[in-house]
Amino acid sequence: MNIGSIVRSANAFGADTVHIVGRRRWNKRGAMVTDRYQHVEHREDVAALVAWAHEQSVPIIAIDNVPGCVPMEMFDWPERCVMLFGQEGPGLSQEAIDAAEAVVEITQYGSTRSINASAAAAVTMYSWVLQHSPLRPR
């Protein structure tokens, strides 16, 4: 359900493409039919995503709350980037973190240490929009 919800949020926030790393099968219900017109591509593994990103000269920004990460409120989002989210529970692999140009955390103030992956994706995309919205005065 998380991937479908991320596809839907990506469409809402104007993301170009969602890259799904790993299994090709995912629950499309959460996408609410946006998967029919939102670009969705599959990458076999992190290495394949990294190769694509390098080819396109697009930095990878990992989203996780690991040591050394930058609070989202303090981060200057590149105009073009890949936002890399992990799985529920384990988060991002060390390979994914090592491949990232930066690791950004969503600052949290309650007792929980993490939020749902699709919620994290929506918060992160909105953070990018706040900095790069075409409606924002320059």
How many CA atoms are closer than 13 Å to the CA of 56, on its beta-carbon side?
Answer: 13
> 28 exposed, middle or buried (CB, 10 Å; 0-12, 13-18, 19+)?
middle
Report the phi/psi class of residue 33: left, alpha or beta, with left for phi > 0 and alpha for psi in -120 to 50: left
pLDDT at 53 over 80: yes
Separation between Cα atoms, residue 1 and residue 19, nearest integer Å: 15
Q: Please state, rounded to an integer, the average pLDDT across all residues of the chain.
A: 90
pLDDT at 31 over 70: no
Residue 1 pLDDT grade (very low, low, confident, very high; cuts 50, 70, 90): low
Per-domain residue ranges of the chain: 2-132
Across 89-114, average pLDDT: 92
User: What architecture (CATH level 2) is domain 2-132?
Assistant: 3-Layer(aba) Sandwich (3.40)
The position carrying tokens 């990458």 is 43
Q: State the pLDDT at residue 70.
A: 98
Separation between Cα atoms, residue 44 and residue 36, nearest integer Å: 21
Residue 23 pLDDT grade (very low, low, confident, very high; cuts 50, 70, 90): confident
